[in-house]
Amino acid sequence: LVGEVKRFLREVYFKADVGISGANAIAAETGTTFIIENEGNAKLVTGLPKKHIVIAGLEKIVPTLQDAMLVVEVASRYANYKAPSYVNLISCPSKTGDIEKQVVYGAHGPSEYHVVLLDNNRTKMAKDPVYKQALYCLRCGGCLYECPIYPLTAGHFGYLYMAGLGAILTRFLIGGIENAAPIAYTCLMCGRCKAHCPMEIDVPEMVLKLRQELAEAGLTPSWVKEGVEAITGIKIR
């Protein structure tokens, strides 16, 4: 199966005019994008097409190359890897100055390199004393190894962003507060994710605040209300 996918995608890579990637970190001092991968597909996406476009959230920006490398190292270790197969560092388009010392862009790789930074409520999150923690996430996935709900749902604990932290990111970045409700109330708030997180993100604290906002907005899921009423006899509006 892997071989078939590889053969199919190779043709797509060579025909593509534009390659779009994300970023694990971006060093502000040089504009260098860091991309972690194991499969080797990111290397093809960023190296073969004529144009490379990086799309990343504002939280991916760190001050220096050393800071970005630290992000790579920590994210890999907490994802249960001693080291990833590849770490790609991309600072500018492909270039060469070998012929008559004249710099020419687009030597063997892209001739254009663009970085698109997404806000999408991230600055709003950054101003909140509780929710700003969500922007510290390195996307290592270590919390998912610890989450007791994640394996029980076969990974279907959230839409794009998973588990308790996914409820916060869904609320701000993709689905709005109403779509975050099922995830927020599925989270056990047990704190195992916080104990394992390299950034010590307090997911239970954020989920509690989100639940309070949901209750105030009258968006507590019906199945939560029914469960509370069945156990306690207390009717929730």
Three-state secondary structure along the chain? CHHHHHHHHHHHHHHCCEEEECCCEEECCCCEEEEEECCCHHHHHHHCCCEEEEEEEHHHEECCHHHHHHHHHHHHHHCCCCCCCEEEEECCCCEECCCCCCCEECCCCCCEEEEEEECCCHHHHHCCCCHHHHHHCCCCCHHHHHCCHHHHCCCCCECCCEHHHHHHHHHHHHCHHHHHHHHHHHCCCCCHHHHHCCCCCCHHHHHHHHHHHHHHCCCCCHHHHHHHHHHHCCCCC
For 66-108, write each residue's pLDDT tens digit: 999 999 999 988 888 888 888 999 998 888 887 778 787 777 7
For 192-215, write each residue's pLDDT tens digit: 999 999 999 999 999 999 999 998
Total-model pTM: 0.83
- Please give the mean pLDDT across all residues of the chain: 88
The pLDDT-based confidence of 117 (bands split at 50, 70, 90) is very high
Fold classification of 2-118 is: Rossmann fold (3.40.50)
Fold classification of 122-232 is: Fumarate Reductase Iron-sulfur Protein; Chain B, domain 2 (1.10.1060)
Domain assignments of the chain as residue spans, ordered by start: 2-118, 122-232
